[in-house]
């Protein structure tokens, strides 16, 4: 349940996810150093999944309204093909840049679409190690072509997710770190889940303890 709550904060509290089964999982990948500081990595994967779960809005009825602020799951046998590629450039011992993208093709037996699963995603970023224990990073994430089913049974496409974020981390000791991170620095409007718009520009700071 903990992993599900981390994946979707708004899932129905008493939900229990049934086990899934992968009768087939084939993957092939390679990594090559194009030039001394540039690495290219590619991977393709094909899976057959029994009883894969997908999130759907769970209507909650009151005397006067129907609320859609929690999520249930539906199950479907599915086949999924994934293809991904990435480039990583080690500019120096202090500076590293990367870009990666992935394409996901779902074919579901019992439902029309793989609800809330992106058809493609892109991530790019650069990190700078100021000193040994202090690192800054800037990254960009994109998720596209996510679909969901409305309570009326129609299929809608969610707005593409764009997230530009900044992160700073300082290691006080091998067990203690402090961090600060800012998300959605462009103030983009999108929904993480139907009915839950992402916060505009927001920041978070805290400590990390490793025991």
Integer-rounded Cα Rg, in Å, for the chain is: 20
Closest by CA to 189, choosing from 176, 198, 180, is 198
Confidence (pLDDT) at 201:
94
Confidence (pLDDT) at 65:
60
Residue 34: how many other CB atoms lie within 10 Å: 10
Confidence (pLDDT) at 31:
96
Give the C-alpha separation, 52 to 73, whole Å.
Answer: 10
Confidence (pLDDT) at 66:
58
Closest by CA to 114, choosing from 90, 142, 82, is 82
Q: What angle do CA 22, 27, 33 make, to 5 degrees?
A: 150
Q: Name the token pair of 133.
A: 């224990």
Confidence (pLDDT) at 9:
87
Q: Is 153 left (phi over 0), alpha (psi -120 to 50) or beta?
A: left
Q: What angle do CA 115, 116, 117 make, to 5 degrees?
A: 95
| Cα 175–chain centre separation | 27
Confidence (pLDDT) at 89:
97
SS3 of 110, please?
A: coil
Confidence (pLDDT) at 61:
59
| Torsional sign, CA 137, 138, 142, 143 | positive
DSSP state of 63: S
Give the C-alpha separation, 53 to 55, whole Å.
Answer: 7
Backbone angles phi, psi at 112, to 5 degrees: -70, -40
Beta strands in 91-195 (DSSP E): 95-108, 120-131, 134-144, 147-149, 155-157, 161-171, 176-183, 191-193
Residue-level pLDDT, tens digit, the chain, 211 residues:
547 777 888 888 788 888 899 999 999 999 999 999 999 999 999 999 999 999 998 876 555 565 667 888 999 999 999 999 999 999 998 999 999 999 999 999 999 999 999 999 999 999 999 999 999 999 999 999 999 988 778 899 999 999 999 999 999 998 999 999 999 999 998 888 988 888 899 999 999 998 8
């Amino acid at each position: 349940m903990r992993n599900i709550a981390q994946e979707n904060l708004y899932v129905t509290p008493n939900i229990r996810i049934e086990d899934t089964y992968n009768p087939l999982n084939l993957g092939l990948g390679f990594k090559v150093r194009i030039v001394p500081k540039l690495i290219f990595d590619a991977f393709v994967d094909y899976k057959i999944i029994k009883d894969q779960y997908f999130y759907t809005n769970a209507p909650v009825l009151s005397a006067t309204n129907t609320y859609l602020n929690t999520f249930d799951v539906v199950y479907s046998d599915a086949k999924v093909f994934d293809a991904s590629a990435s480039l990583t450039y080690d500019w120096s011992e202090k500076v590293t840049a990367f870009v990666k993208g992935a394409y996901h093709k779902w074919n579901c037996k019992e439902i029309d679409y793989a609800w809330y699963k992106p058809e493609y995603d892109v991530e790019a970023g650069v990190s700078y190690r100021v000193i040994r224990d202090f690192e800054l990073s800037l990254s960009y994430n994109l998720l596209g072509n996510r679909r969901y089913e409305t309570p009326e049974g129609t299929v809608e496409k969610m707005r593409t997710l764009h997230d530009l974020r900044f992160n700073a981390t300082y290691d006080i000791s091998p067990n203690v770190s402090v961090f600060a991170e800012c998300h959605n620095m462009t103030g983009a409007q999108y929904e993480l889940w139907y009915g839950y718009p992402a916060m505009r520009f927001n920041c978070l700071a805290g400590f990390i303890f490793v025991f």
